[in-house]
Structure 1
Amino acid sequence: MIWFDDRFVPESESKVSYLDRGYCFGDGVYEVFRVYAGQVYEGAAHYERLVRSAREIKLRLPYPLEEIERIVLELIERERLRDGSVYLQITRGVAPRAHSFPPADTQPVLLVYASPAKRRVESMRGGIAAITRPDERWLRCDIKSLNLLGSVLAKQEAEEAGADDVILHRDGIVTECSASNVMIVKDGVLLTHPANRLILHGVTRAVVLRLARELGIPAEERPFSLETLRRADEAFLTSTIMEVMPIVAIDGARVGDGAPGPVTRRLQQAYEATIPASALSGGGGQ
């Protein structure tokens, strides 16, 4: 069951118009919510970002935010989703194809669906490998828009190179990964790119920075170079689905001693403490 174009319908009955501006132009925004034990994790932060993204591209919400929240919660209940994710997308609607905005009364289209997902516990324990590539995306990465071709191509490069993800950089300054934020630890200090227009303002990123402050781990939001990345003692990415994911190899070279480091482990444990215990048992279930 999904929510599509003003009602709950079976997935097989959903039909996207070829004139939907999301299909023609990627003209829309989206959010991905993590669900633990049937509850939306950090929902307020996700909805705040959804509203901001829509405002930045001058897209009106199809319903009041409270109604969108109700739809998400009802979908979780209908699907009996315990642990997984909810994908929410809003496009500018269906209209004759033209680059300029359609008439003001064009109704935006809301799509919401839920999927079960297990936590990637094994990868969280052992770490993943990444490669580095130039960041060739547009300059408004702070907007969670549907324009993801740059990220798709970067992720595919990682797959073809036998890596799990790609760390992007602009003229040698590290920004983020294909669909997540990246952090490093050097001499006990946590470093991550500032939350400006060049990266997405990650919800999990914000949680981890808050946890670092609570744990007394020095943290700085400032640009750092590829050279600094390659000399890091620890590295990890953060995202709604990947949580706190250690990176133990970059471009074929080990990060630190090639295993998740102590700061990463402390942050993983602190993050897990914010998740309902029932979602952690057995490594996270369907």
Structure 2
Amino acid sequence: MAVLISMQKVFLNGDFIDKDSAKISIFDRGFIFGDGIYEVIPVINGVMVEKQGFWDRFKRSLSEIDLSLPYSTNEFETILNRLIQINSLQEGGLYIQITRGVAQRDFSFVSNITPTVMAFAFSDSILEHPGAKSGITIISTPDIRWKRRDIKSISLLGQCYAKNQATIAGADECFMVEDGYVTEAGSSSAFIIKDGVLITKPLSNEILPGIRRQRLLNLAKEIGLKIEERKFSMDEVYNADECFISAATIILLPVIKADGKAINGGKIGEYTIKLRELYKEILKAQAKMI
């Protein structure tokens, strides 16, 4: 998977500045404790897409750790649109991070401090992601993360460890496994298709509620797939008819090999192709391209 590089201008605590000039205090709780949350919004044709899903999850994560964004929805959208404009971003995304702010080191949530708000833009290929045509490979790794994975926390060491294992193995992504079942991928949601049924883990504190997830479940019904929201094992992945992942800037990507085992003979499945094309049309409409 590609390494995302930020564009030149970033937003930090009320100002648009050069990325090389952006600095935070060493006493920022995000730096000391990982006390904060983040989000990623895809941008297509210079337009933020899937905004409602972003706001719903962003606000929920903030609420779950008793943190508030010091801007209204309209104010923050204006900031984000300005960030797109000054970076001349056409396709890619916005990374947004908010931490509790600067305070003396104290494990308890500190009140009456100003949150640190940061955002940057990055360029990426979403609609024509190369992995959509080639397919990607994954490995399985133990899921060693904390128990509130439904919060999009900036504390990502567990995911970093798992993704690094995939990199060492020469794979693109990993499926994290807990108690014998797949929870989710390292930085994406996990799905399999078997005998005309789309299978994905049900929402709970064990996984992040993927913004693309519900859209894909609805589209799957439209093309005749049945839906099962249940746990599934890596053996089911190996024997699936199709397998794919979804995330903000990839839409969905087909998985053609897991732990060295070819899925569907190493061929991209027809339902995966249909789902991606339908989703692309929705995003292009939101981006005013059609």
- Preserved CA contact (<8 Å) 1:37 1:278: no
The 2-side partners of 1:182 and 1:162 are apart by 19
Which residue does 1:5 correspond to in 2?
Answer: 13
Which residue does 2:5 correspond to in 1?
Answer: none
The 2-side partners of 1:271 and 1:98 are apart by 45
Which residue does 1:155 correspond to in 2?
Answer: 163
- Is 1:115 paired with 2:131? no
The 1-side partners of 2:221 and 2:81 are apart by 31
The 2-side partners of 1:193 and 1:259 are apart by 24
CA RMSD of aligned residues (A): 1.6
The 2-side partners of 1:162 and 1:226 are apart by 18
How many residue pairs align between the two structures? 279
- Is 1:18 paired with 2:26? yes
Look up the equivalent residue of 1:108 and give its one-letter code.
P
| Residue of structure 1 aligned with 2:61, choices 43, 49, 53 | 53
3-state SS in 2 of match to 1:273: helix
Look up the equivalent residue of 1:257 and give its one-letter code.
G
3-state SS in 1 of match to 2:158: helix
- Is 1:202 paired with 2:210? yes
What stretches of structure 1 of length at least 5 have no aligned partner? 282-286
Q: TM-score, normalised by structure 2?
A: 0.92
- Is 1:37 paired with 2:25? no
Structure 1 residue 82, shift from structure 2 partner: 0.8
What stretches of structure 2 of length at least 5 have no aligned partner? 1-8
Structure 1 residue 277, shift from structure 2 partner: 7.5
Which residue does 2:256 correspond to in 1?
Answer: 248
Cα pair distance change 1:262/1:114, threshold 3 Å: same
- Is 1:238 paired with 2:246? yes
Matched-pair identity in %: 39
Structure 1 residue 231, shift from structure 2 partner: 1.5
Structure 1 residue 132, shift from structure 2 partner: 0.5
Which residue does 2:99 correspond to in 1?
Answer: 91
3-state SS in 1 of match to 2:69: coil
Which residue does 1:127 correspond to in 2?
Answer: 135
Look up the equivalent residue of 1:165 and give its one-letter code.
E
- Is 1:62 paired with 2:66? no
Which residue does 1:284 correspond to in 2?
Answer: none
